[in-house]
Structure 1
Amino acid sequence: MIEAVNLAKHYGAKTAVGGVTFTVKPGMVTGFLGPNGAGKSTTMRMIVGLDKPTRGTVTVNGKPFEQHRDPLHQVGALLDAKAVHTSRSAYNHLLAMAATHNIPTRRVNEVIDMTGLGPVAKKKAGGFSLGMGQRLGIASALLGDPQTLILDEPVNGLDPEGVLWVRNLARYLASEGKTVFLSSHLMSEMAQTADHLIVIGRGQIIADAPIAQILAGSDKAKIRVRTSEVTRLSQLLGGAGVNVACHENETLEVTGLDARQIAATALENQVLVYELTPMNGSLEDAYFNLTKDEVEYHSQQFNDQAPVAVKGL
């Protein structure tokens, strides 16, 4: 378990993290989201003792990280996949780490097999591709069979097979009762992996809830309706708090009514409806709704007509 209480980090006049309180519980995958510059990496670095908090506390499995006598067995972290001796082989890098905690050589071989590093285990890490570097970083995090796993952008550079492997690994470890805390910019992947989300913006927690709750609260539910009587049905459904948008292919999108209400209105007025589909919001939509006022950097979005300045990326 990870517990942060009023955790803050200032660099001079700049606030990287502004006093956050949250708990990452065992037995589930907790996703950590936020725009660039929001404070994600700084928070993760404070959890594992690489940055000292300006104020507040953070504990892992009941203690500050530096007080653990066996940190590799308590916390496995991937914060920077390039943090390896480039002249060492993957095998020797893991072997050196294992020696610090009396971890047997067989465990080194296990994590090499587990992460698919076997074919390159004896090659120098400095020549690894981005994806192989990520696999080595994950192998290092798994080496001590830790109770808590912290992974910052673990799927960065991985191919589709590797992305699926990380997803299954995270969910498996959570099912074993471990604490899994990971960040990713891939919303579709986070939606399939995480059970709970913590969203940070400008150093403050702006959401901390189960992913289903965040998706449900991202916007009013929309219902897609198809009928040959688009104009008539849109008039029948219109009213206070209801929005009806007409689209091509005899399609309406209705906000403010549920499917049962729409079906009842259509039946009562003898309007034939041949599709009635709830449209679930995506995690990407929910994320942008949450963070639209919290981004630090701005870019331009281009379409086929003219560039439009937008917040984001």
Structure 2
Amino acid sequence: MIEARKLAKHYGEKTAVSEVSFTVKPGQVTGFLGPNGAGKSTTMRMIVGLDRPSSGDVTVNGKHYAEHKDPLHQVGALLDAKAVHTSRTAYDHLRAMAATHSIPLKRVHEVIEMTGLGAVAKKKAGGFSLGMGQRLGIANALLGDPQTLILDEPVNGLDPEGVLWVRNLVKYLAGEGKTIFLSSHLMSEMAQTADHLIVIGRGRIIADAPIAELISGNSIQKVRVRTSQTADLTRLLASEGVTIGANEPETLEVTGLDSRRIAQIALDNRVLVYELAPLNASLEEAYFDLTKDEVEYHSHVESGEPTLITEGK
């Protein structure tokens, strides 16, 4: 378990993390989301003692990271896949790490096979692709069979097979009762992987909830309606104060009214409707709605030219 209590980090006058409190529980995959510069990486670094908090406190499995006598058995972390001696082979890197914690050589071979590094284990890490570097970082995190796993952008650079492998791996480990805390910029992947989400913006926690609750609570109800009488139905629904879009022939997208009410209005006015389909909001839509006021950099397109707009920090 990871417990943060009023955790803060300041760099001079800049606040990277502002008194955040959260708990990452075992037995589930907890996703960590936020715009660039929101404080995700700083928070993860403070958890494993790489950055000292300006105030507040954070513990892993009941202790500060530095207090664990066997940290690789307690916490496995992937924060920077490039943090490997480039002249070492993958095998030698993992063997050296194992030696510091009296981890048997058998475990080194296990994680090499587990992460798909068998064919390149004797090659120098400096020549690895981004994806192979990620696999080595994950192998290193798994080396001590830790109770808690912290992964910062673990699928970065991986091919589709690798992305699926990471998804299944973290779900399996969570099912074994381990604590899984991971970040990703891939909303579709996070939607399929995470059970719970913590969203941070400008150093503050802006959401901490199960993923289904977060999506439903930050999305507007929308229903797709198919009818040959679009004009009639549009006129009838206008009095309900809804928003109506029409992107396809004989199709309306109604925002702000549920399918039951739409069906009743259509029935009462003898309008034939041949499809009513609630449109489920995506994690991406909920995320953008949550963070729309927390992004420091917005892309703006005007006359076909993208422009970067910087907001005050």
Provide the TM-score with structure 2 as the length reference.
0.96
1:136 deviation in Å? 0.1
**CA gap 1:110/1:311 in 2 versus in 1, 3 angstroms:** farther
| CA distance, structure 2, for counterparts of residue 175 and residue 248 of structure 1 | 43
Q: Aligned residue for 1:159?
A: 159
1:138 counterpart residue number:
138
State whether residues 292 and 311 of structure 1, in contact with CA within 8 Å, keep that contact through their aligned partners in structure 2. Answer: no
Structure 2 Cα separation of the partners of residues 219 and 68 of structure 1: 42
In 2, the alpha carbon distance for the partners of 1:251 and 1:310 equals: 36
1:251-276 CA-partner distances (Å, limit 9, x unpaired):
11112221111112212222111111
The amino acid of 1:204's aligned partner reads: R
Task: Find out whether 1:5 has 2:24 as its counterpart.
Answer: no
Amino acid at match of 1:116: G
Pairs within 5 Å for 1:188-227: 188-227=188-227
The answer for unaligned runs of 5 or more in structure 1 is none
Q: 1:148: which partner in 2?
A: 148
SS in 2 for 1:295: coil
Aligned equivalents of 2:296, 2:154: Cα separation in 1: 23
- Amino-acid identity (%): 75
Tell me how far apart the structure 1 counterparts of residues 296 and 199 of structure 2 sit (CA, whole Å): 15
Structure 2's unaligned 5+ residue stretches are none
- 1:120-135 equivalences under 5 Å are 120-135=120-135
2:304 corresponds to which of 303, 306, 309? 306
Offset of residue 246 of structure 1: 3.1
CA shift in 2, pair 1:50/1:250, >3 Å:
same
What is the SS of the residue equivalent to 2:249? coil
| 1:131-172 deviations in Å (ceiling 9; x for gaps) | 000000000000000000000000000000000000000111
Structure 1 Cα separation of the partners of residues 136 and 246 of structure 2:
52
- AA of the residue aligned to 1:266: A
Conserved in 2, the CA contact under 8 Å of 1:295 and 1:311? no
Secondary structure of 1:273 counterpart: coil
**What pairs with 1:251-262 in structure 2 (closer than 5 Å)?**
251-262=251-262
Q: What is the TM-score of this pair, normalised by structure 1?
A: 0.96
**Paired residue type of 1:178:** K
CA-to-aligned-CA distance 1:235-258 (integer Å, 9 cap, x gap): 222234422233331111112221
Distance 1:246 1:298 in 2: 28
Counterpart position of 1:93: 93
Determine whether 1:36 maps to 2:36. yes
The 2-side partners of 1:82 and 1:227 are apart by 56
Alpha-carbon distance in 2 for matches of 1:287, 1:308? 22
Which amino acid letter does the alignment assign opposite residue 3 of structure 1?
Answer: E
Distance in 2 (CA, whole Å) between partners of 1:256 and 1:311 is 32
What CA deviation, in whole Å up to 9, does each residue of 1:159-189 have, x standing for no partner? 0000000000011111101000000000110
Structure 1 pair 298/258, CA: closer, same or farther in 2 (3 Å)? closer
Aligned residues: 310
Look up the equivalent residue of 1:135 and give its one-letter code.
Answer: R
Deviations 1:172-230 (A, max 9, x none): 11110100000000011000000111010100001111110111022211000010000
SS of 2:29's equivalent? strand
Q: Which moved more, 1:255-264 or 1:279-288?
A: 255-264
Letter in 2 for 1:306: G
- 8 A contact 1:7–1:19 mirrored in 2: yes
Is the partner of 1:22 in helix, strand or coil? strand
Correspondence list, 1:57-96, <5 A: 57-96=57-96
Encode CA deviations 1:34-81: one digit per residue, 9 max, x unaligned: 111100000000000000000000000011100001100100000000
Within 5 Å, which residues of 2 pair with 1:233-312?
233-301=233-301, 306-307=304-305
- Distance between the aligned counterparts of 1:243 and 1:255, measured in 2? 5
Instruction: Please give the secondary structure, in 2, of the residue aligned with 1:220.
Output: coil
Distance change in 2, residues 1:308/1:86 (3 Å): closer
Distance in 2, matches of 1:241 and 1:91, equals: 64
Name the CA distance, whole Å, in 1 between partners of 2:127 and 2:308: 39
